[in-house]
Chains A and B, each alone.
Chain A
Amino acid sequence: MASVAKVVNVDKQIDCTALFCPMPIVKTREALRDLAPGQVLEMLSDDPASDADMQSWAQRSRNELIGVFRDGAVYRFLVRKTG
Chain B
Amino acid sequence: MEAGGESPGRVYFDYAGFAPVDPRVLAVMRPFFEAGIGNPSARHSLGAEARESLEAARIKVARLIGGAPGGVIFTSGATEANNLAIKGVALRTGERPRHVIAACVEHISVLNACRDLEKAGGAVTLLPVDGEGRVDPDVLHRALRPETAIVSIAAANEEIGTLQSLADLARVTRAARVPLHVDGVGALGRAPLAADALGIDLLSVSGNDIYGPPGTGALWVRKGVKLAPQILGGGQEFGFRSGTENLPGLVGLGVAADLIRSESAHGESARLAGLRDRLIQGLLEAIPDCRITGSLARRLPHHASMVLRGVKADSVLLDLDLQGIAASSGSACAALTQTPSHVLRAIGCTPAEADGSLCFTLGRWSTSTEVDLVLDRLPPIVARLRALSVPVTPASH
Residue positions of A touching B, CB distance < 8 A: 20-22, 25-26, 29, 46-49, 53, 56-57, 60-61, 73
Q: How far is the CA of A61 from the CA of B340 in the complex (A)?
A: 12
Q: How far is the CA of A29 from the CA of B336 in the complex (A)?
A: 10
B2 at the interface (CB under 8 A from A): no
Q: How far is the CA of A56 from the CA of B111 in the complex (A)?
A: 18
Residue positions of B touching A, CB distance < 8 A: 108, 111-112, 115-116, 118-119, 124, 333, 336-340, 351
Supplied contacts A48-B124, A57-B337, A57-B338, 18 more A-B pairs, CB within 8 Å: A20-B112, A20-B115, A20-B116, A21-B108, A21-B111, A22-B333, A22-B337, A25-B337, A25-B339, A47-B115, A47-B119, A48-B115, A49-B115, A53-B337, A56-B340, A57-B339, A60-B338, A73-B119
Residues B115 and A61 in contact, CB atoms below 8 Å apart: no
Find the B residue at minimum CB distance from A50: B115
Q: How far is the CA of A71 from the CA of B165 in the complex (A)?
A: 41
Q: How far is the CA of A53 from the CA of B339 in the complex (A)?
A: 8
Residues A56 and B119 in contact, CB atoms below 8 Å apart: no
Q: Which residues of A contact B112 (CB under 8 A)?
A: 20-21
Q: How far is the CA of A49 from the CA of B111 in the complex (A)?
A: 9
Total residue contacts A-B, CB cutoff 8 A = 42
Q: How far is the CA of A22 from the CA of B108 in the complex (A)?
A: 9
Q: Which residues of A contact B338 (CB under 8 A)?
A: 25, 29, 57, 60-61
Find the B residue at minimum CB distance from A23: B336
Residues A60 and B115 in contact, CB atoms below 8 Å apart: no
Q: How far is the CA of A63 from the CA of B337 in the complex (A)?
A: 14
Q: Which residues of B contact A61 (CB under 8 A)?
A: 338
Contact A21:B119 (CB < 8 A) given known A49-B111, A60-B351: no
Q: Which residues of B contact A60 (CB under 8 A)?
A: 338-340, 351
Find the B residue at minimum CB distance from A73: B119
Q: How far is the CB of B310 from chain A (nearest CB, A)?
A: 17
Find the B residue at minimum CB distance from A60: B339
Q: How far is the CA of A48 from the CA of B377 in the complex (A)?
A: 43
